[in-house]
Amino acid sequence: MPEMRSAPIDKGVFWPALVVVLSAIVPLISYPEASAEILGGVLDFIKHQLGFLFLWFTFGVFCVLLWFAFGRYGSVRFGGPDARPEFQTLSWIGMLFCAGIGTSLPYWATIEWVYYYQAPPFGISPESAEAAEWGAMYGLFH
């Protein structure tokens, strides 16, 4: 049987990262109410005071991508001038579609019922027994 060797751990990266993560997680777990209040305030500040930055940043990235696509770099062929794509355009479209579906299915399969439990349609009162029943049933129709 071949001997399995594990990759060495880079201690200069691992230990500082562990200290940073634990220094953030331990207070959050130790003081959940205060943590929720502080993090809620931070989220509100980001949403209400810095929301325009997210919009402008997204617009800027979109403009740069358009510049790349339609500028002088748009005709650059990856792999050299004689390289040919491994997959056809229709295959790429299919792979991107399947990747999008594949990433959203595990997320929505586990969380969609909670969404319908907390905000059910058709005038059902939130977080009630009827909302729980509705949340369990309605997700199956997707």
In this prediction, residue 76 has a pLDDT band, given cuts at 50, 70 and 90, of confident
**Does residue 39 fall inside a structural domain?**
no
Place of tokens 């997204």: 58
Is 99 a member of any domain? yes
Residue 70 lies in a domain: no
| Tens digits of residue pLDDT in 83-95 | 888 999 999 999 9
- pLDDT > 90: what percent of the chain? 66
- Single-letter residue type at 38: I
Average pLDDT over residues 67-83: 88
Residue 133 has pLDDT above 60, yes or no: yes
Averaged confidence pLDDT in the chain: 91
Residue 76 lies in a domain: no
Separation between Cα atoms, residue 142 and residue 138, nearest integer Å: 8
Q: How far apart are CA 30 and CA 32, in angstroms?
A: 6
Number of domains within the chain? 1
50 occurs within a structural domain:
no
Note whether residue 119 is domain-resident: yes
Give yes or no for residue 78 having a pLDDT over 90.
no
Backbone angles phi, psi at 51, to 5 degrees: -60, -35
Domain that holds residue 128: 85-142
Answer yes or no: is 110 within a domain: yes
Q: How confident is the model at residue 1 (pLDDT cuts 50, 70, 90)?
A: low
Dihedral, CA of residue 72, residue 77, residue 80 and residue 84, to nearest 10: -160
